[in-house]
Structure 1
Amino acid sequence: MTVADFSSVQNLYTCHHRWLYELLRRRLSNAMDAADLAHDTFMRVLKRPQTFDCEVRERSYLATIARGLCIDHWRRRQLEQAWLATLAARPPALQPSPEQRAIIVETLHEVDALLQRLPKRVSDAFILAQLHGMPYRLIADEIGVSERMVKKYLAQAMMHCAILEAELDGLLIE
């Protein structure tokens, strides 16, 4: 990042941080989450600085980034709530420790992000096979493809899972 880029981002922050924070606070109904997502928005801007010719485009750019972060935030919260509901149904003796819970929730977020990046049929086939234990023939009927395509989809999903596992283990070098 050049000095000019940093100066541009600094100016963007100075001019629009309060506006963005208020927009997020209204959308999320939570000041702490709004502050976090406003921060995350500017962190993304720092990674890819842009030049704008008017304030409307600056705000539009910031709002677009913030909207995507809100969607991710809501998806993460929904996933966490589903996990906590499942946990609540378990007997106290089978409850994971707080550290285990944190690791499980983070892993769920990573798997969810992985599934979101896969084509719909690939993620559908993976979920039907892994979570529902369906055989290839039934998966093929369910998603409207051949058994051979189901095998291909599952191989693709497993490859992405292996990459994710390697990333989580810190084995991949960028």
Structure 2
Amino acid sequence: MDIVSTSPTSFSQLYGSHHSWLLGLLRRRLSNRWDAADLAQDTFIRVLKRPPDQACAMRERSYLATIARGLCIDHWRRRQLEQAWLQSLADRPQAVQPSPEQRAIIVETLYEVDAMLARLPRKVSDAFLLAQLHGMTYKQIALQLGVCERMVKKYMAQALLHCAVLEAELDGLLVE
């Protein structure tokens, strides 16, 4: 049996057969039934968007667990970023606190920047963070990373290109 073919019946069978199991798995991992329910739904949405080519019935749970594991990692990473940002906000006076809408946009942007940096080679993201967060010069970054200054310039160009692409993507999302 295919895990999901284009037929709604096979998806319905998959959902009916494995939703409770997946929800239980996610509840144990997340210790929160609401987050578990959200991620279980997100898992099945991913299956609908990108069904696998072929898989036997014995591998359905493995396939669902793999998707759910990735979603859990994303969820935990997002929460970690959000907590760090909220801690930095706690030090600010109430008068300069962003609105709830601005907070949501900022958290989403932070998450997207973090995901973009995670896709870059390690030295590129390190160089970018050292320059942007720590205000280090290219010479200082070169010493820190053990590369020449010219390499730091290349790393920064690569990171800034990715930032520009991300900005264009976010602008497109916000405009739509």
TM-score (normalised: structure 1): 0.91
| Residue number in structure 2 paired with 1:139 | 141
The answer on 1:21 being equivalent to 2:23 is yes
Asked whether the equivalents of residues 9 and 49 of structure 1 are also in contact (C-alpha less than 8 Å), the reply is: no
Residue in structure 1 matching 2:55, options 40, 52, 67? 52
Residue 144 of structure 1 aligns with an amino acid whose one-letter code is: G
Alpha-carbon distance, 1:83 to partner:
0.6
Moved over 4 A (4+): none
After TM superposition, the structure 1 = structure 2 runs for residues 32-51 of structure 1, keeping only pairs within 5 Å, are 32-50=34-52, 51=54
Q: Distance in 2 between matches of 1:7 and 1:129?
A: 54
Alpha-carbon distance, 1:12 to partner:
1.5
Residue in structure 2 matching 1:87, options 89, 92, 103? 89
TM-score (normalised: structure 2): 0.90
Given the superposition, is the C-alpha separation of residues 143 and 7 from structure 1 closer, same or farther in structure 2, using an over 3 Å criterion? farther
Cα distance per residue 1:81-135 (max 9 Å; x no partner) = 0011000011112211222211111111111111111111111111001111101
| Residue number in structure 1 paired with 2:118 | 116
Q: Distance in 2 between matches of 1:3 and 1:101?
A: 39
| Residue number in structure 2 paired with 1:8 | 10
Q: Which runs of 5+ in 1 are unaligned?
A: none
Q: Which runs of 5+ in 2 are unaligned?
A: none
Alpha-carbon distance, 1:7 to partner:
3.3
Residue in structure 2 matching 1:70, options 47, 69, 72? 72
| Residue number in structure 2 paired with 1:129 | 131
Asked whether the equivalents of residues 123 and 145 of structure 2 are also in contact (C-alpha less than 8 Å), the reply is: yes
Q: Distance in 1 between matches of 2:46 and 2:141?
A: 39
Asked whether the equivalents of residues 122 and 153 of structure 1 are also in contact (C-alpha less than 8 Å), the reply is: yes
Cα distance per residue 1:20-78 (max 9 Å; x no partner) = 010001110000000000011111111211232132x1111111111111010000000
| Residue number in structure 2 paired with 1:106 | 108
Q: Distance in 1 between matches of 2:51 and 2:163?
A: 32
Identical positions, percent = 73
* Backbone CA RMSD of aligned residues: 1.6
- Structure 2 residue matching 1:3: 3-state secondary structure: coil
Alpha-carbon distance, 1:146 to partner:
1.4
> Relative contact order (alpha carbons < 8 A, sep ≥ 6): 1 or 2 greater?
2
